[in-house]
Structure 1
Amino acid sequence: MHKNTDFFRIIPFLYVIIGPVWIIGTDYFLTISNLSYEQILFLNRFKGFLFVLLTAILLFVLIKNLRDSKQIEEEKEKLSFLIDTMPDFVSFKDGEGKWLQINKFGAQLFELEGIDYKGKTDKEMAEYTDFYHDALIYCIDTDEEAWKHGKVSRCEEIIPLRDGSNKVFDSFKVPIFNNDGSRKGLIVIGRDITALKEAERKLRQSEKMSALGELSAGIVHEIRNPLAIIKGYLQMGQKKTIKLDEHIDLLVTEIDRINSIVNELLMIAKPTDITFENKNINTIVSEVVQLFSIEASQQKTKITVNDLDQFNTYCSESKLKQLFINIVKNALEAISTNGEINISIYEKNENYFAVKIVDNGCGMEESHLQHIGDPFYSLKEKGIGLGMTVSLSIIEAHKGSLQITSKVNVGTSLEVLLPKVKSVPV
């Protein structure tokens, strides 16, 4: 018992030392790392959640192990010191929602310094401050939600400041129950993530600008080539070195190429409003296959459709046709002659069905798969590189997903997952 007491006595001091080291150290590591935005966001959330959860567990263990009155008084001082040194909002409430303790950070935040809060509810505390009256009343509802869930709950809360700005908190509420299931106490911990949210905003803006730069470079590259050809022929026609009438078809082709690039870019950047209806996917796929029947026959390629099941999906029929036209067209272009394209429609799980298109064409290397869908990325000699970009945007609009596997000289498999219709949306 003596050893356990000594152990619990040193925990707050270890926490005061390790806590700041953890916060500063992990923030520094993420700052200098070369991780992606998604990885940085995930690690920031995870380390914050882990730190707060461990803090809640620590506080709970400390409270649980305060046995006799003398030890309680001693440990209460340590506990108060611990929570007052935390850079987070911390408060304790009993099972009836009455305040037991709040750290200095929380008292300063809600302008409750010097007020006798012990034994008072949020409603009673709200009477002490006009500015934070509504915020404290709101806590009654969120506390009740935590009690109903019966486990750690988490949410983002925005606290207004008198200067007109806001602070954003990643809030955790930890309900504690007695052995008989009655309410014992509630621990509320809120981490100030205002700086993190601002950093995320700036990072997103930076990534948007970077993506815009890459897209602009791609547009310039793709449009410059046909423009150079058109300009060259016009200059030669101006100098009378060629007869423009003999090259009109070439000039029109290059203009059509520019127009095609612009149209596909508009579909990606500013998609038009589309109408969704309850449609049969088997019928849509069959109609797409029929469109390619002559082309497939000419290159001696067999297209087989295996309608294993019939499925309806809430969709834009024209957009899904465009999606499958892009996929089947790519499959035909990957096959030189005497090829096979197998299309299967089957149930994937309770909520989704799959349309799988498999060809025995030239296939792709693994390194190319990760770039599928990137604007202006194409393995075709005269490809624009926007077909799969458009296709992915269509799949995303239909709340679906795409899985691609491929092997050089073996073929490619694309599995499109789309949600099943259980009831037609109104």
Structure 2
Amino acid sequence: MKTRTDFFRLIPFIYLIIGPIWFVGLDYLLSVSNFSAEKVLFLDISKSLLFVFFTAILLFVLLKNLKNKKQIEEEKEKLTLLIDTMPDCISFKDGEGRWLQINKFGAQLFELEGVDYKGKTDREMAKYTDFYHDALIYCIDSDEEAWKAGKVSRCEETIPLRDGSSKIFDSYKMPLFNEDGSRKGLVVIGREITALKETEHKLRQSEKMSVLGELAAGIAHEIRNPLTTIKGFLQMGQEKTINLDQHIDVLVDEIDRINSIVNELLGIAKPAGVIFSNQNLNTIVKEVVEMQSYEASLQNTRLNVVEKDQFNTYCNDSKLKQVFINIMKNALEAVTTEGEITISIVDKNEDFVAVKFEDNGCGIAENHLTHIGEPFYSVKENGIGLGMTVCYSIIETHKGTIHITSQVNSGTCVEVLLPKAKVLSPVQ
């Protein structure tokens, strides 16, 4: 396109050179020729007509090119107007990082109105403004990252303002390349999301207050029940209607219940520092099953352990045992006659191993299933509703997950996914 434009610029000069040569040269050839007067006249007229013909063609081409150029300029003005009216910061740079164009929003943002920015790099532009010097220098590195990525990149950028506030932009950087792979240009579009971020922050705060309110209500409800019992017995003892010595066990049990609730809450809110190490997951599961085997035998429930391979996981074995014991106790409470619990250690995928606890108990209704793990939510009549909450918290610190599926009157499957550490040799 550039070569074609340069050619049209040279046409007037070519015309000025060829025109005199055409007339003077042909006149000289006709004067020294032996043609008859009639033939010389014919050639002279033909010479002039040909010149007029080629001149007309040349004028037509030049006028057409001028019209196309005018249309291009008009389209360029429309595009520039459109870009300037957009509420986003839009700028164009060439392959060397030199500024080609920035819309009014961007010029106002960086205080570049009236500054001759075209052809200058970010480093050169930074000299024009002390306040935005660092922001413009930062653009050099972020632009280079976009070039290296070779595709549209996205990042959040915070631009400070002179009044002490700042604006947050969701920035897209689109590198353009020539056919040979060399850098052609960079398009940068920054959409202001300050209001959106403030809204998100308010929503998070609102959610935190909502959760705090629910937690406070749950704590009050769970602690009020044993406190009411303690208060009632103390009042009756004060009124001499009962002998408190005969009910000390009840009071101690209720106090232990309050202490248990508080300890579990502390475990969720501020988990104590735990030491992680590479442990054999199969061994941990077997120890938990052994610990629960006596209770299972008392209610005639069969425990099955299925393992095909040995797996290591980076964990705190004491905390994992706490999780597995809680899940096992829930399963034992769910089964009745002819109860059966199968514990499987399964190779889930390349990164995770699954420990599955499957029982044939009463199951959990779907409307209850989605709330499992919420503080103080329990499907058991006398449940505190913190056991699974603690389990979820522990597994989360192990970078794992818990998935529960269940069907009423058929049973429940609790799947604990844990990251693998090292695969050991198969079970012999």
Please report the TM-score for the alignment, with normalisation by the length of structure 2: 0.82
Structure 2: distance between partners of 1:379 and 1:348: 29
Q: What is the CA deviation profile of residues 301-351 of structure 1, one whole-angstrom value per residue up to 9, with x for unaligned ones? A: 111111122111111111111110110110001112321110111111111
Q: What is the CA deviation profile of residues 73-110 of structure 1, one whole-angstrom value per residue up to 9, with x for unaligned ones? A: 12211111111111111000111111110011111111
Q: What is the CA deviation profile of residues 13-36 of structure 1, one whole-angstrom value per residue up to 9, with x for unaligned ones? A: xxxxxxxxxxxxxxxxxxxxxxxx
Q: What is the CA deviation profile of residues 384-413 of structure 1, one whole-angstrom value per residue up to 9, with x for unaligned ones? A: 000000000011111111111101110000
Structure 1: distance between partners of 2:291 and 2:115: 78
Structure 1: distance between partners of 2:325 and 2:78: 69
In structure 2, the residue matched to 1:306 is 306
In structure 2, the residue matched to 1:387 is 387
Structure 2: distance between partners of 1:69 and 1:370: 66
Structure 2: distance between partners of 1:233 and 1:419: 51
Structure 2: distance between partners of 1:302 and 1:224: 38
Structure 1 residue 68 displacement after superposition: 5.2
Structure 1: distance between partners of 2:311 and 2:163: 57
CA RMSD of superposed structures (Å): 1.3
Q: How many residues align?
A: 357
Q: Secondary structure at the match of 2:175?
A: strand
Structure 2: distance between partners of 1:199 and 1:365: 36
Structure 1 residue 422 displacement after superposition: 5.1
In structure 1, the residue matched to 2:371 is 371
In structure 1, the residue matched to 2:177 is 177
Structure 2: distance between partners of 1:404 and 1:82: 54
Structure 2: distance between partners of 1:290 and 1:68: 88
Preserved CA contact (<8 Å) 2:97 2:122 = yes
Structure 1: distance between partners of 2:348 and 2:382: 36
Describe how 1:182-193 pairs up with structure 2 within 5 A. Answer: 182-193=182-193
When residues 318 and 294 of structure 1 are mapped into structure 2, their CA distance, relative to the original with a 3 A threshold, is same
Preserved CA contact (<8 Å) 2:279 2:313 = yes
In structure 2, the residue matched to 1:118 is 118
Structure 1: distance between partners of 2:207 and 2:163: 31
Please report the TM-score for the alignment, with normalisation by the length of structure 1: 0.82
Structure 1: distance between partners of 2:125 and 2:92: 14
In structure 2, the residue matched to 1:419 is 419
In structure 2, the residue matched to 1:326 is 326
Structure 1 residue 170 displacement after superposition: 0.5
Unaligned runs of 5+ residues in structure 1 are 1-66
Based on CA coordinates, which of the two structures has the bigger radius of gyration?
A: 2
Q: What is the CA deviation profile of residues 346-402 of structure 1, one whole-angstrom value per residue up to 9, with x for unaligned ones? A: 111111111111000110111111000111111111110000000000111111111
Q: Secondary structure at the match of 1:170?
A: strand
Structure 2: distance between partners of 1:71 and 1:143: 33
In structure 2, the residue matched to 1:247 is 247
Preserved CA contact (<8 Å) 2:175 2:186 = yes
Unaligned runs of 5+ residues in structure 2 are 1-66, 424-428
Q: What is the CA deviation profile of residues 173-227 of structure 1, one whole-angstrom value per residue up to 9, with x for unaligned ones? A: 0111122222111110011111111111111111111111111111111111111
Structure 2: distance between partners of 1:352 and 1:362: 29
In structure 1, the residue matched to 2:84 is 84
Describe how 1:13-412 pairs up with structure 2 within 5 A. Answer: 69-412=69-412
Structure 1: distance between partners of 2:170 and 2:122: 20
Structure 1 residue 72 displacement after superposition: 2.7
Preserved CA contact (<8 Å) 2:311 2:422 = no
Structure 1: distance between partners of 2:68 and 2:316: 70
